[in-house]
Structure 1
Amino acid sequence: MNSLDESELSILLVEPSSVQLKIIMRELRQAGVEKIDGVHDGAQAIVAMQKYPPDLVISAMYLPDMTATELLASIRCLDNLENTHFMLISSESNIETLEPLRQSGVVAILPKPFAHANLQRAIRTTLQHIDPAEIELQNYEVDQLEVLLVDDSLVSRNHLCRVFQNMGINQIHQAENGIEAIEKLKQQTFDLVVTDLNMPKMDGQALVEHIRSEMGNTFVPILVVTSEQNQTRLGQVEQAGVSAILDKPFEPQSIREILYRVLDERT
């Protein structure tokens, strides 16, 4: 249960359209959010954030002076703001355009127009990120769990590290691709492997297949975290022996439920 609620959440809304700004503000207030500031472009957003750091930035994709991707990249470079939570509300549907935002750990990507229920869910996800509860497992001491995190994106690895650390998991080892991950797996035993799917040199599917077949390791839980939408590809990953697949962006509660299942409910 989160001790922080919607009324305490401070949000900076970045939307070039005055009409859309008013509409989204109204929806946020209906969701219980009371502290909302609005600006119309990226430069104004950065100035506002440096003066009054928000809990969450909600932005349109295309601003007068930059895109949401560029705004988020700028925020990630600012001291004390690099971990700011970010949500996109946009009619953009191009997978390649949205991919950098998914990799950066946005809390949600909502379409325009969005359903109010989806906005409420995204707000709850933000609260889970800000005020997380440590996970408790029956079969493991959480602070002793050894996790191998495999992702070619440093931004994505950093985001996942924060999520796990907020749950009380601190023994996190990192690899940039499947080949590097295999070397680490040869050197020590891990309680959990978390991998991206699309990576250079050796992707997540090949890594899963190597762990299960070549290394003969059928017991270590493997979680794939991906923005892949191709159901055929995802089916192939499942056949390779993955324990669970989680979409980007994800809710912390989703990872929590998966960890319960793959770590506590295994026989």
Structure 2
Amino acid sequence: MSTYAAISDLSFLLVEPSDTQRKIITKALDDAGIKQIEHSSTIEETIRSLASFPPDLIISSMYLPDGSANDLIDQIRNNKKTEHQCFMLISSERNREHLEHLRQSGVLAILPKPFSQKDLKRAIHATLDLIVEEDIDLELFDPGTLRVLVTDDSRLARKHVSKTLNTMGIKAIEFAENGKEAIVLLKKMEFDLIVTDYNMPEMDGRELTEAVRLDPALAHIPILMVSSNSEDSKLSNIAQEGVDAICGKPFEPSVVRDLLAKILN
């Protein structure tokens, strides 16, 4: 794993078919300290570029001449060589349904057009957090022995959460696709933390939290809830019912690090 001395060491690939938008975003990246920026305008070009020179971060527009960012992220995540590629969207798209697939696919950030320099820098730092491994500082646990159960019906989301936890030194991770599967694992194995999605089939995050809190053998386990609707009023009710922390999607490393430090310490 490479260690970066500065943001200027990062390499970016900007996928943007509009000349005007390309110039605007490139200037903003340059102002943020990014000097290594390659360009492409289609999915085909991007995939070809990834095979030769994989960047630290792909920044993509939503709509491209040969498809959408959803199509691009699928090709990237379904290739073993690129499945952990850091990805960010900059788009004027506001429709939640159109953006949901990207949120579930483990993008680092979704920035609106026009975006603020502050939000861009935050996304760049999230990239750095994923590239540079640094064990989370916990008073009561050794990150290397921390046992975590990640519960999410999205395979891509499970991979992204796992990758984020790995960069913090957390390696002992088990997976469940829904609350029912999680309960089976919780009965068989011991865990120090549960990270669960909110929306899942069979048994959702709220029902899983309730089942854990009502079981004397499991009630002590901290729960981090992850949702793409983290402002939802339903989630504030869940927080009162026993969730220790709520985190939004995209799953930002620095935010997760702070939340875990609070609930595990």
Whether the aligned pair in 1 keeps the contact of 2:196 and 2:205 (CA below 8 Å) is yes
Give the Cα separation in 2 of the matches to 1:197 and 1:124: 26
Whether the aligned pair in 1 keeps the contact of 2:161 and 2:251 (CA below 8 Å) is no
When residues 229 and 192 of structure 1 are mapped into structure 2, their CA distance, relative to the original with a 3 A threshold, is closer
Give the Cα separation in 2 of the matches to 1:4 and 1:55: 14
Equivalence map 1:63-102=2 (5 Å): 63-102=64-103
- CA offset at residue 39 of structure 1? 1.4
Length-normalised TM-score, structure 2: 0.95
Whether the aligned pair in 2 keeps the contact of 1:91 and 1:112 (CA below 8 Å) is yes
Whether the aligned pair in 2 keeps the contact of 1:222 and 1:242 (CA below 8 Å) is yes
Whether the aligned pair in 2 keeps the contact of 1:4 and 1:127 (CA below 8 Å) is no
- Secondary structure at the aligned position of 2:224 is classed as strand
Whether the aligned pair in 1 keeps the contact of 2:4 and 2:10 (CA below 8 Å) is no
Q: What residue is the counterpart of 1:234 in the other structure?
A: 235
- Secondary structure at the aligned position of 1:186 is classed as helix
- Secondary structure at the aligned position of 1:233 is classed as helix
When residues 198 and 4 of structure 1 are mapped into structure 2, their CA distance, relative to the original with a 3 A threshold, is farther
Deviant stretches of 4+, over 4 Å: none
Equivalence map 1:15-164=2 (5 Å): 15-164=16-165
- Secondary structure at the aligned position of 1:152 is classed as coil
Give the Cα separation in 1 of the matches to 2:264 and 2:185: 21
Once superposed, what is the RMSD of the aligned Cα atoms? Answer: 1.4
Percent pairwise identity: 46
Give the Cα separation in 1 of the matches to 2:264 and 2:53: 41
Give the Cα separation in 1 of the matches to 2:133 and 2:38: 25
When residues 115 and 131 of structure 1 are mapped into structure 2, their CA distance, relative to the original with a 3 A threshold, is same
Amino acid in the other structure paired with 1:249: P
- CA offset at residue 236 of structure 1? 2.2
Q: Which runs of 5+ in 1 are unaligned?
A: none
Give the Cα separation in 1 of the matches to 2:204 and 2:216: 16
- CA offset at residue 213 of structure 1? 2.1
- CA offset at residue 78 of structure 1? 2.7
Give the Cα separation in 2 of the matches to 1:236 and 1:115: 32
Instruction: Give a deviation string over 1:119-158, Cα, whole Å, max 9, x none.
Output: 1111111111111311121211221111111111111111
When residues 90 and 132 of structure 1 are mapped into structure 2, their CA distance, relative to the original with a 3 A threshold, is same
- CA offset at residue 19 of structure 1? 0.5
When residues 49 and 3 of structure 1 are mapped into structure 2, their CA distance, relative to the original with a 3 A threshold, is closer
- CA offset at residue 49 of structure 1? 1.5
- CA offset at residue 71 of structure 1? 0.4
- Secondary structure at the aligned position of 2:163 is classed as helix
Q: What residue is the counterpart of 1:172 in the other structure?
A: 173
Q: Which moved more, 1:142-151 or 1:225-234?
A: 225-234
- Secondary structure at the aligned position of 2:67 is classed as coil
Give the Cα separation in 1 of the matches to 2:229 and 2:5: 32
2:257 equivalent to 1:256: yes
Q: What residue is the counterpart of 2:204 in the other structure?
A: 203
Give the Cα separation in 2 of the matches to 1:144 and 1:113: 43
- CA offset at residue 51 of structure 1? 1.6
Length-normalised TM-score, structure 1: 0.94
- CA offset at residue 230 of structure 1? 5.2
